[in-house]
Amino acid sequence: MKYLIALCLVVSAFAQAPKPCDSPPQWEAREIRQDYSRKFEEFRKLSYDETNRRVREVEEILLGSDKEYVDRLYLYNEAKNYSLNLKTRVCTVTALSRPFRHRGVFPGAKFDGIFNIGAVGVPGEVVAVQAFSANGTDGFYTGLVTYPSCYPVQNLFFSKENGFEHSDYFDLNIGIVDLNVFIPPQECIKAEEEMKKKKIMPVV
Ligand SMILES: *[C@@H]1O[C@H](CO)[C@@H](O)[C@H](O)[C@H]1NC(C)=O
Ligand SMILES: *[C@@H]1O[C@H](CO)[C@@H](O)[C@H](O)[C@H]1NC(C)=O
């Protein structure tokens, strides 16, 4: 009887291979982005809106560094890419060079497993996460999300064009505090008006 129960448990564990969970469609977080092929690491404030397919990434400035910092706004429904250099305040407006990239769980992703981060058995010191992977239109993708709420923890993306890109999310909040983050900065609106006057279309 014991064996039978054990067998039933195994069978039901297989039968319930989790379906991809739904990550919240709108959230904000701090992101650490590592791009191994271009050898850079960036700290960003990220606002992510899957419903309206728009993303804002504002680089966090480290005092005393002479690096260039960029404030990026991607509006996928309008195919617009705004890049504001935070030092020179010069904005570049181009067409978007890649499709919208899902964060959290990719649609139709395959379940790869569930495990714990932190110290197992110590109350308050452990978080269960689920791992998913998928072949997206422009590359291979993995996503780690908390269980059961499906909040994004990490995404890895591999494409032939860009190699490995790695994002870790911290201090995540559900929803967008100020929807104005998806309005281009003044410098970008001006740059776009100048382009329109000169009849220049945004180019990649
Ligand atoms: C957006 O434009 C910037 C500056 O021209 C460029 O470096 C970046 O690759 C573009 N990103 C996308 C996703 O099109
Ligand atoms: C993605 O495609 C590769 C190569 O075709 C395959 O080995 C892999 O299992 C696929 N992964 C998923 C999650 O579909």
What CATH number does residue 107 fall under? 2.50.20.30
Of residues 5 and 170, the one with the higher pLDDT is: 170
Q: Give the mean model confidence (pLDDT) for residues 180-188.
A: 97
Amino acid symbol at 104: G
Triad 72, 74, 77: Cα angle to 5°:
165
Per-residue pLDDT band at 3 (split at 50, 70, 90): very low
Residue from 19, 102, 106, 140 to probe ligand 2 pocket by mutation (most atoms less than 8 Å from CB): 140
pTM over cut 0.85: yes
Number of structural domains (the chain) is 1
Considering the domain boundaries, does residue 11 fall inside one?
no
How far apart CA 133 and CA 7 sit, in angstroms, is 28
Which two structure tokens, joined as six digits, stand for 21? Answer: 């969970």
Evaluate whether 145 touches 132 at the Cβ level (below 8 Å).
Answer: yes
Which tens digit of pLDDT belongs to each residue from 17-36?
678 899 999 999 999 999 88
Residue with tokens 């039933």: 8
Which tens digit of pLDDT belongs to each residue from 64-123?
777 889 999 999 999 999 999 999 999 999 999 889 999 999 999 999 999 999 999 899
Ligand 1, CB within 6 Å, residue ranges: 74, 81, 83, 92, 94, 96-98
Domain containing residue 103: 26-197
Considering the domain boundaries, does residue 193 fall inside one?
yes
